[in-house]
Amino acid sequence: MVLGLRSAIRSDVGRRRTSNQDSGATSGRLLIVADGMGGHAHGEIASAMTVSAFTELEERLPRDLSDIDLNAELVATLEDATERLSRRAGTDPETRGMGTTIVSLLLTGEQLALAHIGDSRIYQLRNGELTRLTHDHTMVQQLVDQGQITAEEAAHHPRRSVLMRALSTDHAPEPDVDRIDIVEGDRYLLCSDGVTAVLDDDTLLRELNRDADPDEVVGRLVELANEGGGPDNITAIVADVVDPPDEASSPLRTAGAAAEITTAD
């Protein structure tokens, strides 16, 4: 069975930031969110360039992906993005040290290929049950894994945003990659930590479980994150698995920095 995606994307600067360093994109088979970091080192450039590398991958892949090693393609694209950032930093010293998180899903028809670095997240809603598909690459998550603090303590830890892994100019990427079997009716959320720093899993479950289309749900998530203080940039994608696929109604859409700046390197 060949399944499709019906998705919506929204990106917002939030209530406390003056610029949006998040980027995102959706198409009939690609979903990606990147949360840039680096402040004056131009995290928005890092996120936009990384999204651009992935949209170019989606455009050059054949329609039939049955003979393609998508995990290898995703890793190669992350390596390509890293090289782009390094070249940009080499010609523009102000951008040295820039980096980005990334979460992406690429549709094969019966599966989603997943790539993840950092603390942006992917959730799956299936039959009313919410499952987080990514594991944060943060210092506090490491402390949780080691049993030194609880998940509840991690949510309010003063260093909860300290990343152990990111895509940057400094080193080769260390992504988590996976393949996910999908069924019609699945709903997926990809989001930056501007969403999850404010909205807990119970709130995400309630909103994703609503009988509403992806555009309404993603708009509601951004609204709630801002109502909760909007401490960071907010970017979210909500995507439903549908049958039959309708790629003609799913052109490439970009959001955040990816829709605003030129990423030529």
CATH of the domain at 73: 3.60.40.10
The DSSP line for 165-204 is: --EESSS----EEEEEE--TT-EEEEE-HHHHTTS-HHHH
* Residue 248 clears pLDDT 60, i.e. is over it: no
Place of tokens 């999908």: 182
How many domains does the chain contain in total? 1
pTM for the model: 0.95
Average pLDDT for 49-75: 93
| CA 6 – CA 60 distance, rounded (Å) | 21
Range of the domain at 96: 4-263
Residue 200 half-sphere exposure, CB side, CA atoms within 13 Å? 6
User: What is the overall mean pLDDT for the chain?
Assistant: 92
* Residue 166 clears pLDDT 80, i.e. is over it: yes
* Residue 39 clears pLDDT 70, i.e. is over it: no
Q: Which residues contact 167 (CB under 8 A, 6 or more apart)?
A: 34, 46, 50, 78, 81, 82, 85, 99, 100, 101, 102, 117, 118, 173
Average pLDDT for 171-184: 95
* Residue 40 clears pLDDT 70, i.e. is over it: no
